[in-house]
A and B are shown apart, each in its own frame.
Chain A
Amino acid sequence: MSLSFASPLLLWGLAAAALPLVIHLFFRRRPKPVPFPAIDFILRARQETRRRLRLKKILLFLARTSLLAAVALAIARPRLVAPEARAAQGPAGPAAVAIVLDASASMGYRLGGGTLFDRAKADALEVLTGLGSDEPATVVLCGGPLVPQAEPPSFDKAELRRRLAEAELTHGHADLTSCTGAAVRALSESAPGQALRRKLYVATDLTAVSWRLDAPAPVVTTPAGPVRPEVTLLDAARGEALENAWLSNVAADPDPAIGPRGYRITATVNGQRKEPEGDATLSLRIGVGKEARVAVKSFIEIPQAGSMKKTLSHDFSPGGPAAVSLALPEDAYPEDNALFLTLNVPREVKALLVDGAPSPVRQRDAAFYVEAALAGAASPVRPSVVDLDGLSRVRLADYDVLFLLNVRSLGPKAPEVVDFVERGGGLFLAMGDEVDPESYELELKAVLPAPLHVVKTAASEHGEHAAARFAEVDWEHPALSVFNGPAREGFESVRTYRYMLLKPERKDSGSRVIARYDDGSPAFIEARRGQGRVMLYTSTLDQEWSDWAIRTSFLPAMQRIAAFLAGGLEERRDWPTPVFAPRLVPAPEGVQVISLLAPDGGERKVEAGRGPWAVTPDVPGLWQVRVRRDNGKEGLDPTLAFAVWPDPRESDMRRLEPSELTAWFGGEGHARVAGDRPPGEGREVPLWSWLLLAGLAAFLAEALLVA
């Protein structure tokens, strides 16, 4: 066993033990002269007590000196180190030192009034302070997406101190295996001619996800061959378990049960705790910043270990883009207590149905079926029906979508319809006996996805085998993406007896066929015209040419098509991205993106020019986009806001057993954990508590002697 000190610099405090001697020699009080008659008695009394007083003085001096020396020694934290533990500290002599500071998001965990990162930084600075002038050092900051870089050790301690002092916590993940590898490589480059020891200090929270123990442990390359570094793990958590509760996922799905703009928000709640926590609140907040409000609050039980799901429903009327967040009560690691989600809730769509062939027989009236499909309680569409005569009296600008159902010709209204589409309106064309391809070619050529050709009859009778079926369906199309699994059967089983053939479209027409019949003829064809969208269905929406109107797929498909044509459905759903994952900010037409507003309030400028812009969000939360429109107005565009989620790996606070890590570094002969949990229980005996006891005993002895 040998004696060592955790803070040897503090041994300077031992000088305080000389204070009683200094006071005795230099600050002795001069006795006050006093005449006194019975001086003989004083002489005799002093003679009798002289020996006892001298002994008392010596004891008092020893007690005071011991008290100061014991306290000064205790502050330096001495300990007896067993030979094997001593070996972990390596032989004496100067060393090249690499300090790895874990700056990953999990280091933001709050413990004892501060973050683990604050502690780790203080530990690293203490190590740097304790280095001798002949010991070069380097610092590696570990966290975020960047590849860890380590410069060769240098003697510029001031620069290293500045780097450590200015180091900031990141919101990313730390791969400490890579970081320690980089640090050890830097140690390999330090003064190869000198016989320096190689020391590696890692200030971390010891979370298991930061280490890849299946990789080989780093070794220092020296001229004499590979050497394991002397590793000291500075445990910022001081051996304490890190409890955490977090949200790992939030998903939103339409919930027609509560309305056309109803959504089910499902949160996945995880717990890593000593005990489950009951009656924890899960809040659904809408909005961001000061305008955020709690819409729904629910009580859940956070599991001790594992996860659970909780679904909250909310009606997001009147629709439009919405920023939603789900939040747990803030705990020691607040980064993962809330997750944002952006929704594009469909607005109310006003649809005008132009019935080209009104019929008293409902089965022969397409408008009857379409109106019934669009006017459901959960439908975002509000339909109105007019005939051709009525169309002339209607102001198209009051509507979002125009349905032309078996209309022969628009006549003088045609230019207005074309203008309506090019200004952003939606147009749906359904065929029928009344449709005249030539009139359409003349009047609507500018907006038609493809020129009409002739009507094809697939089956003269309503027969099961003769009818055409939908095939080659683009299920990813927003209008059809609602059909999943068995639900697709309701669409694929539609029987079509007659349909309009189309002339081959030009390659630059911008049209897209989203469903064809089994003979390859287009069934649905879609195109963008101007700012509007046009969709052409080559059969009828009554039961004359097809039985789709009575199929289960008709109602949702028509509602989705109406919403799509009105611009209420996006082609791609905006999924949240993890922090530090690159993503593209789209460039809508007529809009210039200026900057991104980060959740922490910072503004990130984007390069001038046309997008899309590639960005790497470095803070979790809701990112908003500041835009300048063609009309010169600037502001935040809520449709472009996107959610960034914290790195899920950092939420896993399970810690490594120190023995696992020291074993990975080569065993206790090469690695140890500094702090309150030294490796090899019993190999190191802390002496400071005994010294404090000795100091207390000296203090009591001094008090007794003085009394």
Chain B
Amino acid sequence: MRRLRAIAAGIWDFVVGDDWLTALGVVLALAATGLIADGNAAAWVVMPVAVIGLLASSLRRASR
């Protein structure tokens, strides 16, 4: 059980890293892109805007 927990923690650390809010933001941005694309709108705009916002907020948290 302890080994399983260590493996799960290792995978989490490898994929998500030390800023889970950014990872969550990426998931939400992709979901928003999918929803907007279903409505035939210019969904590509979402990702660049999201990346700028996520990077800026992550840097702001890290530099505090």
- Chain A complexes with chain B: no
